[in-house]
A and B are shown apart, each in its own frame.
Chain A
Amino acid sequence: MPNLAPSAPLRHTRGVILDLDKFIAKERFFWEELAALLGRQDAQPDRRQTLEEAKRFYYLYQRTSSDLVKLNTFAGEAETTRFLERLVARSYSRLHEDGGEKVPFRPWQWFTRTFPATFRRHWISFALSIGTFCIGAGFGAGALKLNYDSKADFIPPQFGHLNEKPSKRVEREEKKDFDAFQGRHEFSAQLMTHNTKVTIMTMVTGFLWGVFTLILLFYNGTLIGVVIYDYLADGQGVFLSAWLLPHGSFELPAIFMGGQAGLIIAHTMFGWGTNLRLRQRFARIRGDLLTLVGGAGLMLIWAGIVESFLSQYHDPQFYPWKIGFGAVQLLGLILYLSLCGRRSARERTPTL
């Protein structure tokens, strides 16, 4: 509490303290009108204001702002000040909201230009992501070659079925009659959600300066390396290709994209080559992150569908078709990401 001792110097203040009651009585109709306009905008966020409404809204905002300044300067009444601050804050937020958000989303443009162009813009991060994964795969394969008994140590509990000797599994799977059910859809759904979590996690852990992104990529690479080596060493390369290629040709690139987004975040955290503040740096990459994670999400959904309806059917007569499908899909993805949405030389040349 401030010193209220009588010895404190007193100032003559005639004519400075506002007639608060009269002031409120005169202005409250404008405040209420502004509050009603804001309420209507909250209730119908997509409704476009007419020019007259927008002009009136701006006038009321300016008038209320001016009232707030007067009140702060001359009166200092807490409750009305709080009310006006709230009103001005809401109006300010409405007036200055990001117009870019209102631009309608164009899926075709996003698919044919935005996504592949964003991917290419950050190709170094993608290369780092895939590189780390491959080093992990090499490590897993090498470790299994040196000590086959360590296989169980690499396989996490949720993938316990991979502990089985590959040739035994292949024999069992190939003898099975075709059945559209047998819990395959449930298993595929589990994999789809798991892979989506891994992709998002690989991205968001970039916030910890990319360390955990690299660890996750390396770890997942190790797991794949162990499985690939295990099947190849057991002479089951064709089965492995027919099993993994149809969905893996989309699933793994999606995880690499998660890593790519994570490394973009890591680069933003370090702030190399810029003197912008962290929040400004994040504002710059937000759109790219969403584009990459959105694209990866779509790829994972497709991979989940393929895994559910194609990858899990192990009839040897379909192997060439499955491998062909996976290879074509992978080639298509490479071409799409490398070429789609490139601007022609004429588009790139600035015109006067």
Chain B
Amino acid sequence: MLGTTTTLKVRTPEGVTFEIPLASPFSRCLALAIDVAIVFALAMLLSQVIKILSITTSGIPVLGRLFADFGTGAAIVLQFAVATGYGMATEWLWSGRTVGKRMMKLRVIDERGLSLGLKQVIIRNLFRLIDMLPSTFYLLGGFSCLVTARCQRLGDIAAGTLVIREVEAGPPALGELIGADRNSFASLPHLEARLRQRTTPEEARLVLDAVTRRNELDPESRLELFARLAGHFREIAEFPEEITIGLSDEQYVRNVVETLFRRASV
């Protein structure tokens, strides 16, 4: 089991299936560290404000004594409220995101892929007390995250929530991506037709993925991958040397993608 599921797969009543990537325990730890630092800073700020008010009013007969006692009591209650309420308030107001989660691009959602409800927000934050155990080391919550398939701490299980990775993606400008204006294969439509005819959808998907994700690869792997892909597509449909001369493997593959995806009809 050991947290092997990396995505939440949702099938809607309309029959559409989509996947939402789950947050890793490591990114959740970083978000938590940021949030703990913020809560600590807020608590310190509160106590400093009370302290300053106490010093300022110390000369005034009744008000001074009031701040020295009642103010300190209020500070204790406020610090407790900040520590308990920070997660609840931010997750509710920002649809499942605390400051730490915003920075790490994480979000809490309902485990069915729906929006978070107020009850869920409160429950998952109350259960933080048990996830923190022993002391404040978060061992119980961390262990639960590691052993549950969808990386849920105990609070997530009780509240029926998941933490996901926010994927910011926009529709790509495909023409720019594959260099439509530089495709030398376009001058040989019969060979392009052969290439399209002999390419399987799986190969098309693979080669397009390789082009769209090429910047994620390290240089050596990128060269090796495009060399293998170019070699494979050269065997499928051989273009004459006069138009492939000087073409790098990567540009060859980009031409293949442009041919497959821009010129074919539905």
A residues lining the B interface (CB < 8 Å): 1-2, 4, 6, 10-21, 23-24, 28, 31, 42, 45, 62, 65-66, 68-69, 72, 74-80, 82-86, 88-89, 92-94, 96-98, 100-101, 181-190, 192-193, 196-197, 200-201, 203-205, 207-208, 265, 278-279, 282-283, 286-287, 289-290, 293, 308
Contacts and interface: CB of A to CB of B under 8 A. Distances in A.
B65 A13 contact: no
Contacts of A23: 266
A21 B262 contact: yes
Contacts of B168: 86
B77 A15 contact: no
A308 to B, nearest CB: 7
Contacts of A97: 114-115, 117
A76 B111 contact: no
Contact of B235 (A6, A11, A84, A200): A6
Contacts of A1: 225, 228
B266 A77 contact: no
B13 to A, nearest CB: 8
B1 interface: no
Contacts, number: 220
A78 B235 CA distance: 25
A83 B170 contact: yes
B70 A185 contact: yes
A20 B174 CA distance: 8
A204 B201 CA distance: 52
Nearest to A196: B80
Contact of B213 (A78, A80, A278): A78
B217 to A, nearest CB: 12
A94 B69 contact: no
Given A42-B95, A78-B213, A279-B111, A83 B18 contact: no
Nearest to B213: A78
B39 interface: no
B69 A74 contact: no
A83 B169 contact: yes
A13 B196 contact: yes
Contacts of B260: 17
Contacts of B199: 10, 13, 17
Nearest to A28: B171
7 contacts: A11-B201, A74-B201, A83-B169, A86-B167, A88-B16, A185-B70, A279-B157
Max chain A C-beta neighbours (<10 A), residue from B14, B171, B197, B236: B171
B174 A24 contact: yes
A163 B232 CA distance: 84
Contact of A192 (B77, B130, B154, B206): B77
B171 A290 contact: no
A185 B123 CA distance: 30
A263 B201 CA distance: 56
Given A77-B261, A101-B119, A201-B129, A183 B12 contact: no
A250 B80 CA distance: 20
A286 B20 contact: no
A282 B18 contact: no
A208 B205 CA distance: 47
B16 A69 contact: yes
B229 interface: yes
B175 A21 contact: yes
Interface string B64-82: 0110111011111100100
Given A185-B72, A204-B126, A293-B126, A65 B261 contact: no
B127 A4 contact: no
Interface string B96-120: 0000000000000111111101111
Contacts of B69: 181-186
B30 interface: no
Contacts of A18: 261, 264, 266
Nearest to B66: A181
Max chain B C-beta neighbours (<10 A), residue from A6, A21, A69: A21
Given A17-B260, A193-B76, A203 B126 contact: yes
